[in-house]
Amino acid sequence: MESIREQRLPEAARAVRFEALARVVAEPLYRYVVRRASAGTAEDVLAETMLVLWRRLDDVPQAEAGSVATPDDVLPWCYGVARGCLANARRAEGRRLRLVERLTRTVPLPALWPDDDHSELYAALRGLGSVDREVVLLWAWEGLTPREIAQVVGMTPNAVSIRLHRAKKKLAALLERKNGTAAAHKTGEGRGRSDR
């Protein structure tokens, strides 16, 4: 009888730890995923992410028994898990689309973002490489620091800082070509006294 109780206690403790983690990360993870996939896919990816978090609960930083998980402690690691689940979902969707396309030869690939209010920005983002785009989106949409982004994408913070700087520069250049004016600069801004 005692051994049965000992087996149930760790499982109950895991459930309590997971529920505390889920309260902290579920909403930010959903926002992260829904910005990168359709609502239906986002729900599936979020469910898969939460399943992975349950399975790997012992690997989650600062989620030990007795400690309260904070977003700063766990979100970068959880974003990394969600990124992997999203990549798996995209690969599965790509395989399904290739099969359907082979069968029908008429199915176009879905766009990454809708072409509505910010079509120029989305087009410029599409002009970046996938890793650079992800770094920029993690910085802009999720508000992560280069150190946190490094944890999500599996790079060093220095490599992320360099990629982020170059990607922002390229994004500004792409937007400048689209609009014909320097992005975020006023005409004549930055001239020295000798130019006046």
Residue 189 lies in a domain: no
* CB-CB contact of 26 with 50 (8 Å): yes
Point out the domain boundary residue: 82, 110, 138: 110
How confident is the model over 125-145, as a mean pLDDT?
A: 89
Same domain? For 82 and 118 the reply is no
Residue 79 lies in a domain: yes
Residue 122 lies in a domain: yes
Burial of 43 (0-12, 13-18, 19+ CB in 10 A): middle
pLDDT of residue 104: 53
pLDDT of residue 101: 62
Q: Give the confidence band of 58 by pLDDT, cuts at 50, 70, 90.
A: confident
Lowest mean pLDDT among 15-19, 70-74, 102-106, 192-196: 192-196
Of the spans 103-112, 125-134, 187-196, which averages the highest pLDDT?
A: 125-134
Same domain? For 69 and 92 the reply is yes
Question: Domain containing 81 — which CATH number?
Answer: 1.10.1740.10
More confident position, 131 or 181 = 131
Domains held by the chain: number = 2
Residues 173-187 pLDDT 10s:
888 876 665 545 444
Same domain? For 96 and 177 the reply is no
Same domain? For 59 and 128 the reply is no
Same domain? For 59 and 119 the reply is no
Same domain? For 100 and 117 the reply is no
* CB-CB contact of 47 with 82 (8 Å): no
| DSSP state, residue 58 | G
Q: Tell me the DSSP string of 68-94.
A: ---HHHHHHHHHHHHHHHHHHHHHHHH
pLDDT of residue 110: 47
Question: Domain containing 120 — which CATH number?
Answer: 1.10.10.10
pLDDT of residue 10: 78
Residues 63-101 pLDDT 10s:
455 566 678 888 999 999 999 999 999 898 888 777 766
Q: How far is CA 78 from CA 13, 17, 24, 70, in A?
A: 20, 15, 11, 12
Residue 195 lies in a domain: no
Domain that holds residue 37: 1-110
Same domain? For 118 and 97 the reply is no
Looking at every residue in the chain, the average pLDDT score rounds to: 78
Same domain? For 83 and 157 the reply is no
pTM above threshold 0.75: no
pLDDT of residue 39: 82
Whether 5 shows a pLDDT value over 70: the answer reads no
SS3 content of the chain, % helix, strand, coil (to 5): 70, 0, 30
Same domain? For 44 and 3 the reply is yes
Residue 46 lies in a domain: yes
